[in-house]
Chains A and B, each alone.
Chain A
Amino acid sequence: MEVKNTMSFPAETLELVQKIMKRYPEGKHKSAILPILHLAQAEWNWCSPEVMDYVASLLSIAPVEVYEVASFYTMFHLEPVGKHVIEYCRTGPCCLMGGVEVYDYLKKRLGIQTGETTTDGKFTIKEVECLAACGWGPVFQIKEKFYMQLTAEKVDQIIDELSK
């Protein structure tokens, strides 16, 4: 299979990749797929086929081994997304705390539905399952950060801040 890849991690990420691969026994470095996919998504914002091919080349495995893993786990974006991906928890406990209303407000504020990206490419809304923050719901996550006990006012503040 012809893989034409011109992408590369910055030097310090490449060093980290080498370190990660040493966490596992000799020959078992395939285990590094998930940590490296996280690094790749942080670098390129989504896991395009080119990104996944690059990850495969780093691990000396077949590209399909990366595709089948990336497509199993919900955190990896296999389609282009906006600069900020808002992932809101739709599961029971967050709904008990008024999640549905807050998320409806979020969609109204951004003028998009779940799964869509704003025309300026700044925001994508995704719905996810329980984020293990049920006592502090409703909750959404943007990259690594958790936003908790959300209200319409808080949603406005967060969107205003990120729109700057």
Chain B
Amino acid sequence: MTNDADVLQIDNLQTSFFIDGSEIKAVDGVSLNIPKGKTVGIVGESGSGKSITSMSVMRLIRNPGRIKGGSIHFNGEDLLQKTEKNMQNIRGNKISMIFQEPMTSLNPVYTVGQQISEVLQIHQNLSKKEALSKSVEMLELVGIPSPNDRVKQYPHELSGGMRQRVMIAIALACNPELLIADEPTTALDVTIQAQILELMNGLRKELGMSVILITHDLGVVAETCDYVAVMYAGQIVEYADVHTLFNNPKHPYTVGLMQSLPRHDMDQEELNVIEGNVPKPGEMPEGCRFAPRCPFASDICTRELPDLMETEDGNQVRCWVYSEKWDGDPEVNVKDDYKTARSQ
């Protein structure tokens, strides 16, 4: 199980929310490895459990949510067994996180400098003065002009893109081994998005860290990720390296996502939208969770939940089509037949 090449190993993670006496399984048996120095994307619609997965890694799941089971090994140590105090030493230090909402993710009553300094004072025992001068360096690193002035400003004096840069500065201040970026560019303008992604990519190479990039945007994935996990209804349905995923997607859901992307190399009449909705947590289908929306669904799909299976190219997919038990059309090719199957 343990592998030196992986900085993080999530194994069978289960995180649930307990509301009004009923359990909502937000993350249901997710296993995922993050190789050192690589960027792994987690893709899915909202409610697929991708953010809850990342919050579980940080052990920041709050009441009424709870991590029910599984393990999360970080450099060989299980984060789920650590005390809260030990976790505090890891957060912002070994594992950092940046969020979707740069406008609201910074504390409005403290200056930018104070907020970057705080993390340095906590984890590196720097004095106030040292922390502040390191903060200026960090602002410079993330490409903020005149950092000596900016460091004294309050968040409301900065634009959204600037604030996200500050968030990145906070996250990277202690040289983390793993950065979790939860939709870091979603709330930003398109031009700023590209800048922020470029910055993150550059810093990842420079600092040699691993990145988990959570997004619903396949365009961002194509540009930045080495590996991709596609999540659906609390589970990973496909895991592959980025080239395979884009060239040869296997899961009908992944194919559906791909086809909803506008393409330049094909004559497209319309963007395809996957019909239907993500199943509500309380109303999970008995079999494959995607079956109700899947154009290929056969008997077994509605009866039994498939496992995440290894494919011949070493990737993983959670779909009956690729198993010996498949009881539908034996000649089916998900990628090529998706459109025809869908129109039927």
The answer to whether A and B belong to the same complex is no
